[in-house]
Structure 1
Amino acid sequence: MLNKVSKNRLLIVGMFIISTSLLAQTEPDDIALVSDEFQESYYESLKQKGMENFDKAIVSLEKCLKIQPENAVIYHEIGKNYFFQKDFTSAETALIKATQIDPNQKWYWIDLYEVYYETKNFNQAILTLQKVIPFDKNYKEDLVSLYMYTAQFDKALVLINELDDTVGKTEMRDRYRLEINSQSKTNATDKNDLEKAIQKNPQIEENYISLIYKYSDNGQEEKAREVAQKLEKNIPNSEWAQVFLYKYFINENKGQEAVTAFEKVINGKQIDKKIKFKMYNELLIFVLKNPSFEPQLDKATRYFENDSEFNVYKEIGKFYYKKGKWDLAVKNLEKAFQKDNSDIETNIFLLACYEEKANYDSMLKSASDLIDLFPSQPEYYYFAGKAAGKVKNFKKSNEFLESGLDYVVDNIDLEIDFCSELAEVSKQLGNLKKSDEYIARVNTLKKKKK
């Protein structure tokens, strides 16, 4: 359903004598009455229209035309009466005549638009709305809907971007934008409309963003970069320009430029946190290959320190784990654990760090505590059993490992780890037969993997 701008009409309840030259500056129903006969016929048409006798109203209006054959207001009234009768062809003819006589009266164009809208002649409706908009910009909302209905998605997107920027976003336009993005053919359509829109008004940021995405989706990264650079030049405070340029800086190993772009984004208020999180993860990967930028990474980490949606200590802990910096990894993963002890990835990384540091007491305590909280998670039993074995508590180790093995499902690697540990623990407990059985099971599982 297309949105339609509501219109309040003035109904003439009296007769006014004004010069024909003033008609274009008044509401269409404020009619010039220049003779008694004209006045009587016009007044009769209003009365008959009010009684919904539209045929009789038209007869009276035709008498007016014999007196003033080029009176645009009369043609407009005739068009409206035909419209009320649903004689849209006659209504169109009369209203077109009114616009030809007086093209500067917006109501003539608006009512002609309604004819095309009712008859679903949307292409003509679009052309007519383009005549209305210079008088009333509210009708741009209708034009967006018509572009969507006629699948002119590029034009719709340009207008959506303009309206979002000038009058604010609406739920309807957001839905239209999602619909446009879901149309696979949109990415292959001509991009001239967006280019022209940028050239016409270089301060509308959304047009750059849409064009960048279109080029990127088509694999035209160099074109996308050029648009991002143009965005930065024309709107220097655009955070979106930094988002896009950051990606190119990271890919080209331009560390300082990437960090500068990143800092502009995280210190701004325009970009959604999810995008900032993604940029932070990309920075982590970059710093892993370029350790000289670790101070900048630490600074970025502090930005997310108190964020309830993003456990930054988990990410930085994983980062240091991959670098083999166990102390720093443990320090951050313990903070991550304090923030959220239900995240299995955080917990496994922390337990693995304890193992790397040979801190078996902490490994055993943490894994035991996690088993109490999450009794069906097999990895916690594995770390608890391994830690107990390392501190020579083989009986406890065996209990953990046998209990945890029951929870291993469709994970051959983890099952092999359990059985390998159980083979060693059984040996330490003097149960060589059991140890051999676990070794045989390990060999079977390894063959199954091949």
Structure 2
Amino acid sequence: MKLKTLFYSLLLSGFLGPAVSYAQQEPDEMALATDEFENNFYEALKQKGIENYDKAIQSLQKCLAKQPSNPVVFNELGKNYLAMKNYPEAEKAFLKATELDPKNRWYWAGLYDVYYATQDFNRSIPVVQKLTEWRKEYYQEDLVSLYMHTRQYDKALALINELEQTVGQSEKREVYKLQILSEDKYKKPQKEALEAAIKKNPKEESNYLQLIYLYSETNQEAKAEEVAKLLEKEIPASDWAQVSLFKFHLNNNEGEKAVASMYKILGSAKIDRKIKHRVLNEFLIYSSTTTKYDADLEKAVGYFEDEKAINVPKEVGKFFFNKRNFAKAAAYFAKGLSTKEDDIETVELLLYSYAEDLQIENLYKVAAEYLEIYPTHARLYYFAGLASNNLKQHNKAKEYLENGLDFVVDDTELESNINRQLGEAYKGLGDDKKKQAYFEKADKLIKAKSNK
């Protein structure tokens, strides 16, 4: 027997379920019928594999002619119809498969795929409830989302509480829970229930957090702070207590206490990075009007040195840049470049900051250094020329600026600035005629831009 035939004989006898009765058939007829079914089924799998779903369905229909009650064939039909986005036919096929063999979870999973694709949340619920018989915790997570989508908040809340006890908390479920608790009908009874739960079990952290949220939502900040302090007292190691206390310390202008809470939050392995970013941002805003917390801010930024998705020093630099605090902006942009040295945007922001803060030596050093890496970047020539003019090195400035003009593309403002600096270079060299020519050219460029 061929390998393919042997494999599919095993597949069809063991996995496809009992074949039709062969009691009344001659041996040759039986072999012929079996080969025909196998060949059609194999052809269906092959066509599905190359995404010829129509042909796969035709072959499966031939299989059904031989075995009209075979659930595997209906399951395969469902997969092909689903791939074609023929959802009504896919639903019918999977329903038939589950009817013929209700103990096979893959048939139910196929039916769920149809309802998920069509966003039919109400029909999804009984299917997912069935699927929990096989993978309880996995599908209970889906069930929570389905209850939320269908606004069955009582069921969602009950299931969330159950999962908290069995598998612990998750960020997604916490978001759902807070959404439910924000509904008026849940607020008062939930507050009372949480207060009672805290008295009964003062070491359960989640009850404090939910109660803090509820008080904050109803603008009862004093009560929320009271609960946060109680949490810190009962569970001194609670990192989540510090998240709430940090906010209260800022609101109360208790900077030193806020700093202490911030360090605990940033150093915690339990607290999500999004929350850490929010804490840093709030402290940045709080501390930006004074130099008192400069060292604390720098230390806080250091907690994000391994951050891949966001260059945190660069973002802090932008904050100070927009506040026109160019000295601080430059310090953070320089730190940002130590994290990602080839970020040309950070390079330009650093150079702008050095220019505005009159850090001329640093301006020249960085511009010249990056010109070796980006020799066609016109703005670097401008900054190198600007720095050279300020350092009274006018010949060097002229060389940088003339080279820079060759690389300006569709940037009238930059072209005008380079021409103006060329005028300054020739002024320093004592060539008044060329000085005047470049100044006039710079003015014409700006005037032409404003008239567009």
TM-score by length of 1: 0.53
Residue 446 of structure 1: CA displacement? Answer: 2.3
Match in the other structure for 2:382: 382
Matches within 5 A, 1:168-183: none
Assess if the C-alpha contact under 8 Å between 2:78 and 2:94 holds in 1.
Answer: yes
Are 1:284 and 1:316, in contact at CA under 8 Å, matched by a contact in 2?
no
Worse overlay, 345-354 or 157-166: 157-166
C-alpha separation in 1, matches of 2:429 and 2:135: 72
1:166 matches 2:137: yes
Task: Render the CA deviation track for 1:389-428: whole Å, top value 9, x for unaligned.
Answer: 1111111111111111221212222222212222222222
AA aligned to 1:433 is K
- 1:400 matched to 2:397? The reply is no
Max Rg structure: 1
Return the offset for 1:333: 3.0
Q: After the TM superposition, which residues 96-107 of structure 1 pair with which residues of structure 2 at under 5 Å, given as runs? A: none
The separation in 2 between residues aligned to 1:328 and 1:356, in whole angstroms, is 12
TM-score by length of 2: 0.53
Percent identity over the alignment? 22
Quick one: structure 1 residues 141 and 264, their matched pair in 2 at CA, closer, same or farther if it must change by over 3 Å? farther
Aligned to 1:152: 120
Partner Cα distance (2:108, 2:128) in 1: 8
1:350 matched to which residue of 2? Answer: 350
The answer to whether the 8 Å contact 1:381/1:403 transfers is yes
Equivalent residues in 2 for 1:22-101, closer than 5 Å: 45=21, 47=23, 85-86=65-66, 88=68, 91=69
Q: Is the 8 A contact 1:198 1:208 kept in 2?
A: no
Structure of higher RCO (CA pairs closer than 8 Å, 6+ residues apart): 1
Which residue of structure 2 aligns with residue 22 of structure 1?
none
Give the match for residue 120 of structure 1: 89
SS where residue 410 of structure 1 aligns? Answer: coil
What does 1:220-239 correspond to in 2, within 5 Å? none
Q: 1:236 to 1:318 in 2, by over 3 A?
A: same
5+ residue gaps, structure 2: 1-9, 34-61, 80-87, 165-169, 198-203, 222-242, 252-257
Aligned residue in 2 for 1:335: 335
Match of 1:267 in 2: 268
SS of the residue 2:372 aligns to: helix
Structure 2 SS opposite 1:348: helix
Q: Deviations over 1:43-94 (max 9, x none)?
A: x94645896769x9xxxxxxxxxxxxxxxxxxxxxxxxx9854574xx59xx
SS in 1 for 2:89: coil
Work out whether residues 90 and 114 of structure 2, in 8 Å CA contact, stay in contact via their aligned partners in 1: no
The one-letter amino acid of 2:137's match is T
3-state SS in 2 of match to 1:375: coil
AA partner of residue 115 (structure 2): Y
Equivalent residue, structure 2, for 1:25: none
User: RMSD value over aligned CA atoms?
Assistant: 5.8
Q: Which amino acid aligns with 1:379?
A: R
Contact 2:420/2:442, CA 8 A, preserved across alignment: yes
Note if 1:192 corresponds to 2:160: no
**Deviations 1:121-156 (CA, angstroms, capped at 9, x unpaired):** 6158459849977x5656552332131354425765
Q: Is the 8 A contact 1:165 1:206 kept in 2?
A: no
- Paired with 2:172 and 2:183, the residues of 1 have a C-alpha distance of 14
String of CA shifts for 1:146-203, please: whole Å, max 9, x gaps.
313544257659959989993499xxx9xxxxxx9xxxxx9xx964267744444443
The Cα shift of 1:347 comes to 1.5
Q: For 1:359 and 1:47, how far apart are their aligned partners in 2?
A: 98
Change in CA separation of 1:378 and 1:142 when aligned onto 2, cut-off 3 Å: same
The separation in 1 between residues aligned to 2:281 and 2:25, in whole angstroms, is: 69
